[in-house]
Chains A and B, each alone.
Chain A
C-alpha cells in the first residue's frame, strides 16, 4: 500500500531523515520506535505531505505522492493525526469533526463517519456542542483521532498518541487504535515511545536512530528490553 524509497528530509539545516526506506501493507499496524529527536515524527510528516522530502520517492497505492500538496494527499487517502493536537480550539467538538471531513470524498460520508466516531468515543457525542479548548487532555486526543477518522482515509499516521496521558488513558487509546484497525480495516502507522504497549498492538516495528532505520522485525520478535535500553536511553 505504501512504499517509501530512500527519502531524505531536512528540517531547516538539520538532516532529519537519511535514506529512509520502508513499506506498509494493507491492513497492517506498523510501529516506529526510538528516542525523541531521532526522526520518527519527521518521518510521519514527510509521508503525509507536511514536510516534503528533498530526495527519494513515496508511492501510495502504486502512485507517486511525494510531489503533491498536502490536501491532495489527504484526498488520496492518507490522514495525519498530529502529536501537538492541532485541533481548532474555538470550534465545537462537532465542528472539529466536520472539518475532518472537509475533502470532497469524505463530505458525502460525514454523517455516517460522525456516528462511527461517536460510537467509538461516546464522550465526544456527549460533548459535541462544547468548544474544543474546554476538553481534557484525553478527550482532546480522542477528538484528534476522531477528526482523522472523519476523512474516510485508508492509511492513518498517528504521532505519539499516548504523550501526556495518564496510564489508564494510555491503555484506552492503544485499545481504540487496535479497534480502529480491526473494525474499520484502517492501515495504521504509529510513532511511539511506549515500547511495550506499541509492540502489543502492532504487526511490525521499525527502530530509528539518528534519522535512519536501524532495524525492523515482526513485533513479536522485537525485544522490549533491547529497544528500551539501547535506543530509548
Chain B
C-alpha cells in the first residue's frame, strides 16, 4: 500500500479510488425532480385503483416505485456521462462534475434496482414487481442505451418508461392491468412528446453538440412544432377519457378539458413561433405549463375520487 496525500480537483482520489462524495451526491443520482413526478403519478394509480391496500404497504409500494425510478435515473446518468459532461443542462450532474465515479453510480443503480424490485415483490405482489423491473429495464436499456442516440422518436417510445408509474400504483392494488390504468398510462405517454420537444426546441444546440438525434435537429423546427400540436390534441383526449370510462366524474372531465385547452393554446403559440426564434419564449412557457398540467390532472383525479367519500361523510354529519 502507498501513502496517499494528494487528491485531484474532481473530488475523487485517482490513486486510491477514495471518494469525497456525500449522501447528497448519491441522492442527486436518483433524479429527485423526476422522482417527485413518479411518486405523484404512482400515488394516483394507487388511490384510483378499485380495491384496498393496507396504507403502510401502500407507502412501501410507492417507496419501491420511487427508488426503482431513481435507480434507473442513476443507470441513465452512468451511461450518459459522456454527453452529460458536454451539455449545459447536465454538466453539473454528480458524474460529469467528478463527485461520483462511474463505477459507484453503476453499482448504486444496480443495487437499488434489485432492492426495489425484490421488496415490492415480497411486500406487495409479484406482478407489480415484474412491471417495475420492466420499467427500469425499459428506461435504462431500451431508452438510454438503444433509442436515445439512434432515433428522433427516442422520447416518444422512451416516454413509456415515465408513463408506467400510475399503472404500477394500480397494479400494486389490483395485481393486474385494466382499461382505466391504460388510460392513466396514456395521459403521461402522450404528454411526454410535447413536454420534451418544447425543451428540445430551446436546447437544440445542446443536443446537436452531443449528437443526440432530437426531433428539432433531425427534422427541423417546423416538423417539431406540428408534432407538438398533434400530440397535445391526442393528450387532451386521453386526459378527459377517465370521465368517459367512468373512472372520474363530469367535474373532472370539465376541469381537465379546460386545462387541456390551455395546453393546446400554449402549443399553438409554439407552432406560430417563427423558425429561428432565438428566445423561444412560447416553448419555454409550454415546458413550464406542461409540468403544472400533469400535476394538476393527476391531483384532480385524486380529489375527484375522494369527493363522494367526503360528501357522504358531511351528509352523515348533517
Does B bind A?
no
Which residues of A are in contact with B by a Cβ distance under 8 Å?
none
Q: Interface of B with A (CB < 8 Å)?
A: none
